[in-house]
Structure 1
Amino acid sequence: MPTPSLPHKPITVSIVSHGQLSLIQPLLGQLDRWCTDSIEKVVLTINIPETDLLGGMRWSFPVERIENPAPKGFGANHNAAFTRCATPWFLVLNPDIRLDGDVLAPLILQAGADSGLLTPRILEPGKSAPEAHRALITPVEILTRNRPGYAAPSVPSWIPGLFMLFRSATYAQIHGFDERFFMYGEDFDICARTQLAGWKLEVAEKLLARHEAQRASHASRRHLYWHVTSLLKVWTSRAFWRYVLQHGGR
Structure 2
Amino acid sequence: MIHVAIVSHGHEDLLIASRLGGLQNAGPCMRVWVKDNKPNSKLSAYCAQHGISYSDAKPGMGFGDNNNFLYEVVRNEVGFKMGDTFVVMNPDITIDPQSIISLAEQMHKDRYPIATINLYRDQQYAIADSNIRRFPDIFSLIRMAIVRSLSQPYDKTQMENICHVDWASGAFLAFDAMHYSALEGFDPRYFMYFEDVDICYRSRKLLGKGVRYYPSLKATHIAAHKNRNLISQHASWFFRSFLKFLSRRYFIYDRQANLTSAK
Q: TM-score, normalised by structure 1?
A: 0.80
| 2:200 equivalent to 1:191 | yes
Partner of 1:49: 39
Which aligned pairs between 1:102-181 and structure 2 lie closer than 5 A? 102-111=98-107, 112=109, 114-125=111-122, 128-132=126-130, 133-138=132-137, 139=140, 140-143=142-145, 152=154, 155-181=164-190
Q: Secondary structure at the match of 2:133?
A: coil
- Count the aligned residue pairs: 232
Shift of 1:99: 1.8
Q: CA deviation at 1:46?
A: 1.1
Contact 2:21/2:91 (<8 A) preserved: no
Higher mean C-alpha deviation, range 154-163 or range 134-143: 134-143
| Pair 1:64 & 2:60 matched | no
**Cα RMSD after superposing both structures:** 3.0
Which structure carries more helix by proportion? 2
Q: Give distance in 2, aligned partners of 1:56 and 1:49.
A: 13
Q: Which runs of 5+ in 2 are unaligned?
A: 258-263
Distance 2:252 2:171 in 1: 24
What is the aligned counterpart of 1:77 among 66, 86, 89? 66
Displacement, 1:36? 2.4
Once the two structures are overlaid, the 10-residue window that deviates more, 96-105 or 225-234, is 96-105
1:239/1:52 CA distance change after superposition, 3 Å: farther
| Structure 1 partner of 2:260 | none
Q: Distance in 1 between matches of 2:174 and 2:121?
A: 19
* Residues in 1 aligned to 2:65 and 2:19: alpha-carbon distance in whole angstroms: 22
Cα separation, 1, equivalents of 2:41 and 2:186 = 28
Percent of pairs identical after alignment?
A: 27
Cα deviation 1:46-99 (Å, max 9, x = unaligned): 11233524525633xx32222134410100011011012224111111000012
* 8 A contact 1:27–1:95 mirrored in 2: no
Equivalent-residue separation in structure 2 for 1:97 and 1:224 (angstroms)? 22
